[in-house]
Structure 1
Amino acid sequence: MKTLLTVSALALLAAAPLPKKGEPAITPLTQTSGGVRPAEQLALRFDSADLTFEVLPDSETLNGIAVLGFTAKSPVDRLLIDLDKNLPVTAIAIDGVALTPAAWSNPEGRLTIRLPRTLAAGAKVSARITYGGTPHVAVRAPWDDGMVWSKTPDGRTWFATTSEGYGCDLFWPCLDFPTGEPGVVELHIVIPKGLKAPSNGTLIGIDTLPDGRTRWNWRTRHPNTYAIALNVGPYEEISGRYNSRYGNNIPMFYWYLPGEKAQAEKLFAEFAPTLDFFEANVGPYPFGDEKVGVVETPHKGMEHQTINAYGNDYAKAIEGFDWLFQHEFTHEWFANQLTAANWDDYWLHEGYGSYMQPAYGLWREGRARYAAMMQTQRATIVNKAPIVQGRVLTEEEVYEADKGGAGQDIYVKGSWMLHTLRGLIGDDAFWKVTRLAVYGRPDPKPGNFVPRFGSSAEYEGFVRQVTGKDYGWFFDVYLRQAALPDLIETRRGDRLTLAWKVPGGGRFPMPVEVSVGGATQVVPMTDGRATLTIPAATHYVVDPDARILRRSVAIEDMQAWRAAQAAKRATP
């Protein structure tokens, strides 16, 4: 494979000024990920991507060749490929035949390629796209996206990509929506001498080029659209193997910066116990035939499939495990194996992604640790918008409050919804539902499942399937309403009346535990209300173990006070 740039071109690029954070600017189309898609994109099945990247740290530029394979699901006469226009295309070939520049255009970040002939349903096409330029630099990764160019403490290149929010088109030509996953991806990453490039999937080999640079070759299957990741640095490596509960033997790798061996070994020691938790409760690690991979990055973290980004500075916490490592690793099941088909359902990623830290705390240490971790999350739920809006959304419409999104609530409110559901239907049913959602079957074993797409509606169906009951009332309130259910307590003499008040005024027969004189009973609340007889002098506690996500005036008052204090500090 030839290098992508000549020596003279390299010199010219190295002399150009380096981009600042947020540069070069991207179009609104490139900044948008997901949402309603053009018919031409929905007409394609993305079969394969062979991606070559030439990483040029001195000029902070990137060059690439992408060979993309598609099958038409319905007739199509042009390809619409998402690609940032800051990476201009210099050549395109369709099925090996070069096109003239007049056959393509990319004014706003959607590369339009006019095919030589209409592609019939069932027909295949291969597009070879040569491109390159100065990719967008992230301002504050991973909360926004782009290239993260950095230096190690001793001044060597340390580089990473993030693209969950703005999308894969920031650095390679792709279909930038959740169901645009390619079936298989091969990556060839050309980097300067002395550096390493850990990436997705299985390492096929490392080639040394005549100029001393190396090309790292990887292969992965069914990667999430934003899960392809470039990571470049002078990494050192720890490796080992995990003997799975399911009989397979899984390779594990951690790539870290020089000088951190002791801390790196402690983090690596968490890999196998965390794997065991997931395999014991959810099911087999989805990518056991590839690897468990983690790489230290100059940004906080991201769930890049089989090469999770880690940037938590080896932080120590009272829980005794690294929450960021555990959270990103959770996404191998909830994001990479189970992928939401629509950004509107991303609580399936982040609600589970957040719930699995306290669930792991419970598994490791018991109820006290679980309760403490859940209460920390509870204080941050804001209830400004429903978790699910019932339409096809972009990433920004989910994450940004000024666009009507639920934002952080897809994490913490989603987590508390799962906590409440687990208490409602019981542990056994909860994990059976979870297993169906992740694998699409109750009996997952290595080799009998592949990554899949899911939705909120499907998840509700799995709850009905496992329990034999319709819990639409539960999901109507927690997913499709912003406000929380409010449990109204009225005590007159020796009579205590409990009544649910829910947004929308619908049914909410959520049973409630009440502790009376130290003895706990379950109150059915079949019609959303119940009356108990409790002697006036007897102490009682409603929902003593905080099993139910419901309105808390104390939390509302605390949040309002904190907002007022922040406003005071912001006033000159």
Structure 2
Amino acid sequence: MLAVILLASTAMATPLPKKGEPPLTEQTKRSGGIRPAEQLALRFDTADLSFEVLPETQELAGVAVLDFIATAPVSRLLIDLDRNLPVSAVSIDGVALKPGTWSNPDGQLVIPLPRAKGTGQKIRASITYRGTPHVAVRAPWDDGVVWSKTPDGRLWFATTAQGYGCDLFWPCLDFPTAEPEQVTLHITVPTGLKAPSNGRLLGVDTLPDGRTRWNWRTRNPNTYAIALNVGPYEEISGSYKSRFGNTIPMHYWYLPGEKPQAEKLFAEFAPTLDFFESLVGPFPFGDEKVGVVETPHKGMEHQTINAYGNEYAKAVEGFDWLFQHEFTHEWFANQLTAANWDDFWLHEGYGSYMQPAYGRWREGEARYAAMMDLQRPQIAAKVPIVRDRVITEEDVYEAANGGPGLDIYMKGSWMLHTLRNLIGDKAFWDVTRLAVYGRTDLKPGNFKPRFGSSREYEGFVRQVTGRDYRWFFDVYLREAALPDLEQTRDGDRLTLRWKVANDRPFPMPIEVQVGDRIEKLPMTDGSGTLVVPADAHVVIDPWARVLKRSTAIEEFQAWRATRKN
């Protein structure tokens, strides 16, 4: 364990930072995308991270000990770190470097190695830093730290970093496949406060000045999922006996004075776990914990310490959607991680779909249909979800950057809904298990977090069904526009034809209700004909099983846009 950083808190001559301060470089704002060869030549083995949270000056101090293994020859380290956190000391393999050896002009710390490393050689870098971390404007949609106060005036602090990345508050490799095998955290906080974080609690040390140091360890975390949370928390804990035979610790840290609401939320943990373990598979981090912490921002899927800021809102569905959504990400983001942000829908499409799926689990088809219906008008269909190239998180998440934005959530969810109805429940959940775990013979301990892609997911569908559904994914993932189902009547003949961007093949079968009878048209070549009595009442896709264009929704969206302006 690293020695605690003993830094005296002194009054600053300059004002405390406001939201959006200090400013960030474009390099720091960039998470993922095409990476330098020097970063791709490293396998991130372990990180030992010591933090001090200094509320008087709103600073963060840290020492990061990072262990890498070279997968190709490398002569320097390129470590992502916000330049608002100036580095005061660096050592490589235990040898201190002279000041001026390293540089960080734009948010990427450049450290020349004293001796070049060959393939398979280990590198240990120790980096000491202290500075003013960027304050989020509107967390978690804008990243950074949140300095807040509890109702009784005590410190309430949190970090969020999905968009801009881990380099906002610790030295890391800021792209999805750069997960360390293991991270150990030592978080020193003011007297009387707690610091719940990722993984298993190793112990709490009380320092001579009364502060405490909270020590945690977690395995294979998403780098953006490393989280600091500080406050005068109270805790509810319990355990869950899994259907897979293991016992999983559960913890919820909440603010004082909220015990009744906190107990009701905690009561949702076990049934939600049972739902996921029944439909998907074992909780991926059962040897660590199910952890949730109340935060001064809305929420985020911080691995084993999910952020919750929904203020215990009630909903007609009878469960807390935000808790359930972030918990979904333990499987779809933390266990299964998109290797490239271009496949972000694997996180958020499933993240959104699992709320209606849970509604179906709890109450049946009516609840499921109602929840899916609420998502449908939110689909913009202006940009393809997948562009088949390496891109940054912001290039996907921000519509202003030309990305699909919320479509990775809602269009992704409706695509999964359509796929489940196309291939059937058993095949769909088998595909899901392969995507999440890489296998279907599941038991605790026989899998580890993995990276996935859209192309791999398509392969799993082909593996499970024995059929090639590339046409399905090409239309829903790689085209912006939704497929349009055109219909024409000629006497007693009803003809349906799919109109798809770029004239792609789209043999999507469709159900047609004629009177009280429902018939499924195979639409093998993208069209189908049905004999329909002239006076019959006809409903196309009566159960809304297929994602397709709706002129009514488009007109509603256009009308709503005028009301907002």
Instruction: Say yes or no: TM over 0.5.
Output: yes
1:146 and 2:126 aligned: no
Amino acid at match of 2:335: Q
Q: Residue 359 of structure 1 is aligned with which of 337, 357, 360? A: 357
1:4 and 2:2 aligned: no
Superposed CA RMSD in Å reads 0.8
Q: Could you tell me how far 1:473 is from its partner in structure 2? A: 0.3
Q: Residue 249 of structure 1 is aligned with which of 243, 247, 250? A: 247
Q: Could you tell me how far 1:400 is from its partner in structure 2? A: 1.4
Q: Could you tell me how far 1:102 is from its partner in structure 2? A: 2.5
User: Aligned partners of 2:10 and 2:554: how far apart in 1?
Assistant: 59
Contact 2:133–2:169 (8 Å) recurs in 1: yes
Q: Residue 137 of structure 1 is aligned with which of 135, 138, 153? A: 135
1:94-128 deviations in Å (ceiling 9; x for gaps): 11100012220001000000000110100001000
1:28 and 2:29 aligned: no
Q: Could you tell me how far 1:492 is from its partner in structure 2? A: 2.1
Amino acid at match of 1:333: W
1:17-49 deviations in Å (ceiling 9; x for gaps): 210000000100001100000000000000000
Aligned equivalent of 1:418: 416
Aligned equivalent of 2:301: 303
> Identity of counterpart residues, as a percentage?
75
Aligned equivalent of 1:545: 543
Contact 1:16–1:59 (8 Å) recurs in 2: no
Q: Residue 432 of structure 1 is aligned with which of 414, 417, 430? A: 430
Q: Could you tell me how far 1:393 is from its partner in structure 2? A: 0.5
Q: Residue 52 of structure 1 is aligned with which of 42, 50, 53? A: 50
Aligned equivalent of 1:570: none
Aligned equivalent of 1:470: 468
1:458-490 deviations in Å (ceiling 9; x for gaps): 000000000000000000000000000000011
1:274 and 2:269 aligned: no
Contact 1:89–1:131 (8 Å) recurs in 2: yes
Q: Could you tell me how far 1:315 is from its partner in structure 2? A: 0.3
Which aligned pairs between 1:278-297 and structure 2 lie closer than 5 A?
Answer: 278-297=276-295
Which aligned pairs between 1:503-518 and structure 2 lie closer than 5 A?
Answer: 503-518=501-516
User: Aligned partners of 1:40 and 1:177: how far apart in 2?
Assistant: 13
Aligned equivalent of 1:397: 395
Gaps of 5+ in 1: 568-572
Instruction: Report SS of the residue matched to 2:355.
Output: helix
Aligned equivalent of 2:106: 108
User: Aligned partners of 2:360 and 2:7: how far apart in 1?
Assistant: 57
- CA distance change for structure 1 residues 495 and 48 in 2, over 3 Å: closer, same or farther? same
User: Aligned partners of 1:485 and 1:261: how far apart in 2?
Assistant: 49
Which aligned pairs between 1:334-353 and structure 2 lie closer than 5 A?
Answer: 334-353=332-351
Amino acid at match of 1:445: K
1:480 and 2:478 aligned: yes
Contact 2:4–2:50 (8 Å) recurs in 1: no
Contact 1:186–1:217 (8 Å) recurs in 2: yes
User: Aligned partners of 1:476 and 1:6: how far apart in 2?
Assistant: 56
Q: Could you tell me how far 1:531 is from its partner in structure 2? A: 0.8
Aligned equivalent of 1:455: 453
User: Aligned partners of 2:151 and 2:83: how far apart in 1?
Assistant: 33
User: Aligned partners of 1:67 and 1:566: how far apart in 2?
Assistant: 50
Amino acid at match of 1:372: A
Instruction: Report SS of the residue matched to 2:49.
Output: strand
Q: Could you tell me how far 1:442 is from its partner in structure 2? A: 1.3
User: Aligned partners of 1:354 and 1:3: how far apart in 2?
Assistant: 41
Q: Could you tell me how far 1:493 is from its partner in structure 2? A: 1.9
1:420-464 deviations in Å (ceiling 9; x for gaps): 000000000000000000000111210100000000000000000
Which aligned pairs between 1:92-131 and structure 2 lie closer than 5 A?
Answer: 92-131=90-129
Instruction: Report SS of the residue matched to 1:429.
Output: helix
User: Aligned partners of 2:492 and 2:292: how far apart in 1?
Assistant: 59
Instruction: Report SS of the residue matched to 1:211.
Output: coil
1:216 and 2:214 aligned: yes
1:118-164 deviations in Å (ceiling 9; x for gaps): 10100001000000110000000000100100000000000000000
Contact 1:202–1:291 (8 Å) recurs in 2: yes
Amino acid at match of 1:4: I
User: Aligned partners of 1:526 and 1:129: how far apart in 2?
Assistant: 61
Q: Could you tell me how far 1:301 is from its partner in structure 2? A: 0.1
Aligned equivalent of 2:79: 81
Aligned equivalent of 1:169: 167
1:528-550 deviations in Å (ceiling 9; x for gaps): 11111011011111100000000
Residue-pair matches, total: 564
Amino acid at match of 2:165: G
Contact 1:165–1:395 (8 Å) recurs in 2: yes
Q: Residue 445 of structure 1 is aligned with which of 434, 443, 446? A: 443
After the TM superposition, list the runs of 4 or more consecutive aligned residues in structure 1 that deviate by more than 2 angstroms: 1-7
User: Aligned partners of 2:15 and 2:216: how far apart in 1?
Assistant: 32
Instruction: Report SS of the residue matched to 1:161.
Output: strand
Q: Could you tell me how far 1:565 is from its partner in structure 2? A: 1.8
Gaps of 5+ in 2: none
Amino acid at match of 1:152: T
1:488-543 deviations in Å (ceiling 9; x for gaps): 01112211001011111011000001111111111111111111101101111110
Instruction: Report SS of the residue matched to 1:264.
Output: helix
Instruction: Report SS of the residue matched to 2:223.
Output: coil
Contact 2:11–2:56 (8 Å) recurs in 1: no
User: Aligned partners of 2:270 and 2:400: how far apart in 1?
Assistant: 41
Further displaced range: 513-522 or 141-150: 513-522
Amino acid at match of 1:11: T
